[in-house]
Chain A
């Protein structure tokens, strides 16, 4: 649905986007992840036909954005970083205007406007002036604007920026619903967003693609050994040495300790699932097994390790990012 080949954009001497290539299949949600200034917005602007690339090619919905811009734009919905609202129009007027210039025929326009407002839950603000809307509503009107002409491709530049947690969840849900009929590219620098909404991730840094994969694969790829977190109630006994004696376990480290409970991080050989043995060993001692779960490197750490040239230098020589329980990283 979207094909980007060797896209390069230079501003004078600065290269904002450097030889970026990727593909997005129909109905997919692609996350565009990178720190601020990585070239996300520039890439999206090229895809939407807002600006031309210096080199390379971009095909959206079967049309080259440079050679047939009108056809490509007809099939693209775009939510820029700041929603492009006209302050003195009401929400309905605004959406009607957008529908007009996006080529929605006048017969079905009113229905489209209503449909878009219902989908983005802004119907109650229909007659409010855009200048009087809160940040969350502005963002949602921007989203309504992007999907009003039912485009094949949706390009969303930080769609959840500035929303409150409830709205963020709603917006993510909406984007997921849209994915079936539309192909979605969304950019973000918020990592949990990617793991929750996207099927594939493009990580971009300093204008270059550093990784393209599914969030799960990325996580797996960067996790060398299998790591487990175990919490036991050993009644003061030395649980660590017992756990270390289980075949396949390569390393045991005490992670935390409170009220008689001890947590361990246990690394095992790759491909060797030691969970059954662990559970059996703990239970056979008569100890309490309170928690046992696999640990993964969070996307955050993958991201850092991919986008930071020298982690140690940045972290002041502290440490390379360590694995943390996935559950804690989600709301980071």
Chain B
């Protein structure tokens, strides 16, 4: 545990010591701000129209019409920003030789991997934190429910965990962080758009791609539904990603 936290804090510190954390958080905040303004404008215009049509004050559901699409757009931001977070985790250690320090220290592979995972999750948590004030603002002018927001954030955290575990795996496969970043982005994108072919290819494929798509499992979370099948899906995705990372690091040893 102590070792794991030592690695995690080292990872977190190295994000903030270099430009990566600032660029990632900066881009994240910029994109999020843009989405926020765009969706808010759309929401305001819609509710004005509703008022006109219904001939009186009608309140639209802030959760359903504003917060849910907003947080779903956060997944697009993850697509672009998270590869930047994970691309160097292993590849940079391999390139600079510091991996030799880690692998010859009295640490288990699991401690190293979990440490790196937690470090990246820490940075991701900071990014999610950046999105909170905007939503808090909505409580001043409207009255959204807070419970669906909480489940949505849980969903985002889990989804981020999936992306990060996958990013770690890809980073462990190469010495070149640019390669790691590009491949990670491509794989994320693939997982994101996998449902597109499903809707035209009959019910079986549709079901299958829906199940595989890591985005579709977020839907219930953002509606405020806590379904154990989605929880299990995300947790097993993360576990499997980290397991493969462990195997990849181990096989590197054998190959030398």
Q: Which residues of A contact B (CB under 8 A)?
A: 9, 11, 16, 42, 45, 48-52, 70-71, 73-74, 76, 78, 80-82, 84-89, 93, 97-98, 100-103, 145
Contact = CB atoms under 8 A, between A and B. Distances in A.
B102 A101 contact: yes
B103 A100 contact: no
Contact of B18 (A70, A81, A88): A88
The range of chain B's interface size is: 20 to 34
Contacts of A87: 96
A113 to B, nearest CB: 14
B134 interface: no
Given A86-B98, A88-B17, A97-B10, A76 B104 contact: yes
Contacts of B100: 45, 50, 78, 80, 84
Nearest to A86: B98
Given A85-B98, A101-B6, A73 B18 contact: no
Contacts of B6: 97, 100-101
Nearest to A81: B97
A50 B103 contact: yes
Contacts of A50: 100, 103-104, 253
Contacts of A51: 253-254, 256
B14 interface: yes
A11 B256 contact: yes
A82 B6 CA distance: 23
A51 B99 CA distance: 12
B132 interface: no
B103 A49 contact: yes
Contacts of B13: 89, 93
20 contacts: A11-B256, A49-B103, A52-B253, A70-B108, A76-B104, A78-B101, A78-B104, A80-B100, A82-B96, A84-B99, A84-B101, A85-B96, A85-B98, A86-B14, A86-B96, A89-B14, A98-B105, A100-B6, A101-B3, A101-B106
Contact of A73 (B10, B96, B98, B105): B105
Interface in B92-124: 96-108
B140 to A, nearest CB: 40
B80 to A, nearest CB: 24
A101 B7 contact: yes
A187 B243 CA distance: 36
A102 B97 contact: no
Interface in B49-97: 96-97
Contact of B104 (A16, A49, A100): A49
B133 to A, nearest CB: 29
Interface of B: 2-3, 6-7, 10, 13-14, 17-18, 96-108, 253-256
Contacts of A48: 104
Contact of A145 (B2, B101, B103, B253): B101
Contacts of B18: 88
A103 B106 contact: yes
A94 to B, nearest CB: 9
A45 B256 CA distance: 9
Given A76-B104, A101-B6, 10 more contacts: A52-B253, A78-B100, A80-B100, A84-B100, A89-B14, A97-B6, A100-B3, A101-B102, A102-B105, A145-B101
A41 to B, nearest CB: 10
Contacts of A101: 3, 6-7, 102, 105-107
A178 to B, nearest CB: 18
A89 B17 contact: yes
Nearest to B108: A70
A74 to B, nearest CB: 4
Nearest to A90: B17
Contact of B106 (A52, A70, A84, A145): A70
Nearest to B115: A101
A293 to B, nearest CB: 45
B55 to A, nearest CB: 63
Nearest to A76: B104
B18 to A, nearest CB: 5
Nearest to A44: B104
A100 B115 CA distance: 13
Contacts of A76: 104
A73 B112 CA distance: 15
Contacts of B17: 88-89
Contacts of A100: 2-3, 6
B7 A84 contact: no
A84 B10 CA distance: 14
A307 B256 CA distance: 25
A74 B14 CA distance: 25
B105 A52 contact: no
Query: Could you say which of A42, A74, A80, A84 has the most chain B C-beta atoms within 10 Å of its C-beta?
Result: A84
A52 B254 contact: yes
Given A82-B97, A84-B98, A101-B6, A73 B255 contact: no
Query: Could you say which of B7, B17, B108 has the most chain A C-beta atoms within 10 Å of its C-beta?
Result: B17
A11 B103 contact: no
